[in-house]
Amino acid sequence: MVSPGGLPAAPGRDKMRFERSAIREMPAKKGKPVMYDRRPLSLFVLPLAAGALLANAAAAQVPDVIAAPGETVVATFHAEGAQVYDCKADASGKLAWQFREPIATLLRDGMTVGRHYAGPNWEASDGSAVTGKAVANVPGTTPSDIPWLKLDVVAKRGSGVLSNVTTVQRTNTHGGVANGLCDKAGSFYSVPYSADYVFLRKGS
């Protein structure tokens, strides 16, 4: 994984230029002079630039195996929920936890913006939705973390933020792996997990 690059250092106070566009007039009170905010323009611009650099750095940290070169990030949603497993017989006839479906809430800035469920499907609150098919994966950070994934979008519906999405990446996974024995066929096991889902479209 590639570590994010450093941010440019802010200029020294003695070298800051006060820009006219950054001077904001404040309402005057009766009998008092008008006050001005003379903070330099760089104090307003640098945080925006830093945010863009951090977004690029996050994209650069995705392993090559699940990278999507030439594609542009449309949205990134955080998911909180559970990976649900079903107790079934495996190929050898022994009972084992078999993955059934995800059930999660999609969040952005702490606000609910959609849901994630069997399919796998991601549905935004504006009605747009996509269905994905896993095409690549890398192990999670620990044995208890589900893998990071790259999924191709195979179906779309609705109109909104996800309308033009062609690829989904699952990153920064925590939890979700079923451990322990299952001894009753047909029983279910929900394992809490969280992850970030990055939605991308082809082109710039």
Whether residue 180 sits in one domain with residue 147: yes
If asked whether residues 172 and 86 sit together in one domain, one would say yes
Q: Which residues form the domain of 112?
A: 71-202
User: What is the per-residue pLDDT for 2?
Assistant: 38
Asked if residue 42 belongs to a domain, the reply is yes
**Is residue 7, in this structure, part of any structural domain at all?**
no
Same domain, 40 and 81: no
Q: Give me the pLDDT at residue 80, please.
A: 98
Q: CA 66, 178, 144, 68: dihedral to nearest 10 degrees?
A: 10
- Which sign does the torsion angle of CA 149, 152, 156, 159 carry? positive
According to the model, what pLDDT value does residue 34 have?
39
Looking at the 3D structure of the chain, how many domains does it have? 2
Q: Distance (Å, rounded) from C-alpha 45 to C-alpha 153?
A: 36
Same domain, 109 and 77: yes
The per-residue pLDDT for 94 is: 93
pLDDT score recorded for residue 49: 37
Token pair in block for residue 66:
């699940």
Shared domain check, 54 and 103: no
Cβ proximity of 149 and 199 under 8 Å: no
Q: Do residues 161 and 182 both lie within one domain? A: yes
Whether residue 54 sits in one domain with residue 120: no
Asked if 34 contacts 26 with a C-beta cutoff of 8 angstroms, the reply is yes
Q: Are residues 143 and 52 in the same domain?
A: no
Unique residue bearing structure tokens 């559970």: 82
Q: Evaluate whether residue 23 is within a structural domain.
A: yes
Q: What local confidence, expressed as pLDDT, does residue 204 receive?
A: 72
d(CA 148, CA 165): 18
Q: What per-residue confidence (pLDDT) applies to 27?
A: 43
Q: Are residues 144 and 92 in the same domain?
A: yes
Asked if residue 78 belongs to a domain, the reply is yes
Tokens 């399919």 correspond to: 119
Q: Is residue 5 part of a domain?
A: no
Do 97 and 78 belong together in one domain? yes
- Does 8 map to a domain? no
Residue 32 lies inside a defined structural domain of this protein: yes
Would residue 149 count as lying in a domain?
Answer: yes
Same-domain status, 185 and 130: yes
Residues 169 and 105 placed together within one structural domain of the fold: yes
Q: State pTM to two decimals.
A: 0.71
Which token pair is 125? 């609150």
Mean pLDDT by runs of 10 across the 204 residues of the chain is 40 40 40 41 37 41 94 97 96 94 97 98 98 98 97 97 98 96 94 98 87
